[in-house]
Amino acid sequence: MGVERKTASPGRGGAAVGERDVAATMRRMLGGGTPEPDDVGYARVGKKKTVVINTDTWVQSTDMPPRMTLRQAARKSVVSCISDLAAKGARPMFGTISVNIPRGATRGDIRGMAGGFAAAAAEYDVRIVAGDTNAGREFVFNVCMVGEHVLKRRVARGGAGPGDGIFVTGPFGYTALGYKVLLEGHAGRGGAVRRAVRSVLRPEARAEFGARCAKYFTSAMDSSDGLGFTLNEMARQSGRTFEVRGMPATAQLERYARQNGMSLEELVFYGGEEYEIVFTATASGGRRIARVADRLGVPLMEIGTVKAAGRGGGGGGRCSVYVRRGGGNDNNNNNGARIKIGGSGWEHLAS
């Protein structure tokens, strides 16, 4: 998710495109990487070691809401990369940072920016080993992170099997509310609003959880593009249908949405930037993961079940995501209407 809400204007090449169109074109023309869209790449180093690589760009005009400081922005740009590595079970080792500095930036601005990078590096035990600076019209940060691939297999977005549980590492909806406060002038008050704003300004990545638990994931993805998009992408790449039972939201957020006439479904499924891990696991894997989550204090939530999608596995079947209404947060309730969850979420150039 970002701050800017305008779509790109068509240029000489035809109609405007979205971020995912750009990525697909680059992947097709450059080759290499993963055959399906993913947030990381893999590279072999020597005969035995494999590293996981991720890069992310933060732009002041599209990613910096009111109230966010440069220190918070710099820290968040690192957290974004760490979260992608966490979903793959990779432990971050080192990174590089390139920054674009506008003319007129003060020493205080630079200290704040550098302090944010340093705070994130210390928090997630990663070394920043190199970087570059340039001058331009606004602050731009490009962060590249390299993590150690310690698993015997790669954790992909696809791979979920019928009967697997669907899990998330925390509640959803707070960042969407936070952006309503920061960008749309929503004048709410209370604990839900404070938590919502904090989730935007100071997110956290589930780095240790991912490193310990990814070996049990059958599929996984970082949720920063929105839960609806994440679930649909995992279902598509798995060739399955995902049945969600109940909303992965806190009672506090449910109450706030109801009292303020907001759609809980919109907040939960169509926001973004939660930086939680969405994953599937077998029953035995889920039990092992739950024990680790309990030790780490991660508020793990099992939100549904993977179903067969009919003919055409491997992404070609009738894959969909739907939530059963009428069951609240009771994961054992199979009654109620089935409501299809769309795959929209935050997308640069198109959102």
CA distance 130 to 182: 33
Is residue 19's pLDDT more than 90? Answer: no
Angle between helices 191-201 and 251-259 (to 10 degrees): 110
Answer left, alpha or beta for residue 261, where phi above 0 means left and psi between -120 and 50 means alpha: left
Q: Around Cβ 61, how many Cβ atoms within 10 Å?
A: 12
Per the listing, tokens 């030790």 go with: 295
pLDDT tens across 67-92, in order?
A: 999 999 999 999 999 999 999 999 99
pLDDT tens across 245-258, in order?
A: 988 999 999 999 99
Collapsing DSSP to helix, strand or coil, 243 comes out as: strand
Q: Are 283 and 199 in contact (CB under 8 A)?
A: no
Is residue 317's pLDDT more than 80? Answer: no
Two structure tokens written together for 279: 């994953």
Q: How far, CA to CA in Å, does 40 sit from each of 140, 193, 200, 258? A: 21, 33, 23, 38
Q: What is the 3-state secondary structure (H, E, C) of 323-335?
A: EECCCCCCCCCCC
Q: Are 178 and 199 in contact (CB under 8 A)?
A: yes
The number of angstroms, rounded, from the C-alpha of 21 to the middle of its chain's C-alpha atoms is 19
High-pLDDT (> 70) share of the chain, %: 82
Q: Are 176 and 262 in contact (CB under 8 A)?
A: no
pLDDT tens across 110-126, in order?
A: 999 999 999 999 999 99
Which comes out higher in pLDDT, residue 318 or 84?
Answer: 84
Q: Confidence band (pLDDT; 50, 70, 90) for 8?
A: very low
CA distance 105 to 85: 32
Kindly state the greatest CA–CA separation across the chain. Answer: 61
CA distance 303 to 123: 29
Per the listing, tokens 């490009």 go with: 142
Report which residue type is found at 171. P
What is the average per-residue pLDDT within 171-188? 96
CA distance 8 to 249: 33
Per the listing, tokens 């995992």 go with: 234
CA distance 78 to 145: 8
How close are the terminal C-alpha atoms of the chain, in Å?
A: 8
Report which residue type is found at 114. A
Two structure tokens written together for 127: 């070394």
For the chain, domains (ranges, CATH) are: 33-148 (3.30.1330.10), 165-340 (3.90.650.10)
Collapsing DSSP to helix, strand or coil, 33 comes out as: coil
pLDDT tens across 40-52, in order?
A: 999 888 888 889 9
Which pTM does this prediction carry? 0.85
Is residue 286's pLDDT more than 90? Answer: yes
What is the average per-residue pLDDT within 286-291? 98
CA distance 189 to 20: 36
